[in-house]
Structures are given as structure tokens and as C-alpha cells.
Amino acid sequence: MQKVNFNIEYEVYSSIDDLNKKDMELLATAREFTKEAYAPYSNFYVSAVAKLVDGNIVKGTNQANASSTVGTCAERILLGNAAILFPGVAIDTIAISYDNKNGDSAKAISPCGMCRQSLVEYEQRMKHPIRLILSGLSGEVYVIKKANELLPLAFSNADMQ
């Protein structure tokens, strides 16, 4: 038997003010864009804003549905928008933020499992890592160098060969 340990390394900033100017602007946009989310059932408004390698900006928000399993997360909306609006252009960085109308919005959150899988697939497809900036409307900010670090042992197209 062999034991294997997965570790993730990420940067923690005490607030948005500690980020470099470009990351600060991207996160500020994501925080502002939570207002465009549609989340009347959960009151948990999420936005994802990406800077592409060519400098273009793409946005996405969560879109709820009365049939809860039909809703779509902000990250996957963003990936679809990026793929359609800028085919073949890789994503450099995504800032993800949320506004929890039922409680606190001051803690960094991470994408759900389905979104992690989608981010890994997008990274693989574009052959380019996606940096993630994770935060609420205030508080600490996490920066992760590559989205695939959030999903060790990810299922990929190589598994289907």
C-alpha cells in the first residue's frame, strides 16, 4: 500500500486592498456584478468575472430556477459565455464573489464540485491555467494559481481514451 497526500497552496490576502491593481479591479467588478444574479429562492447571489489572455472581460452570474436542479452556477455560465463570445481564447483569471442576503458575505468561497470539473476541463481544452480570485463582498481574498488544484484526481478526456 502507498499513501498519497494532496496539498493545495494558495495566497490569502486580508482584504481587496492588498491585491495588485488588476486583481483588485477584477474582484471589484465581480462584487458589483453579484447584483445581476438571479437567486430569489436561495438569496445567494454569485458572480464570476474573467479576464481573458487577450484582455477581454467576460461575466456570468448564477441563474436559479423554481425547479432547483435546473439552476446554473455563475462559473459555468461564465465559461459558456467565454467559449461563445471568444472561441479559442484562454481565460487568464476569474474573480468569484457572492452576496448572501440571508447572512454574512465576508468569507471567501470556492466553486462547487460541478464547477470545479468544468473549470478543469476548460483549462485542459485551452492548455492554459486559470487563476482564481475567491472572495465575498468583503473580508479575506484567496488566490489560487490553477483551477485544477481544487480538484485532484479530476475525471478528464484522458480517462476516456
Catalytic annotation, residues:
75
Q: SS3 for 120-131, per residue? A: HHHHHHHCCCCE
Tell me the CB-side half-sphere exposure of residue 70, using CA atoms within 13 A: 5
Q: Is there a contact between 29 and 40 (Cβ–Cβ < 8 Å)?
A: no
What's the Rg (C-alpha) of the chain? 16
Count of C-beta atoms within a 10 Å radius of residue 91 = 25
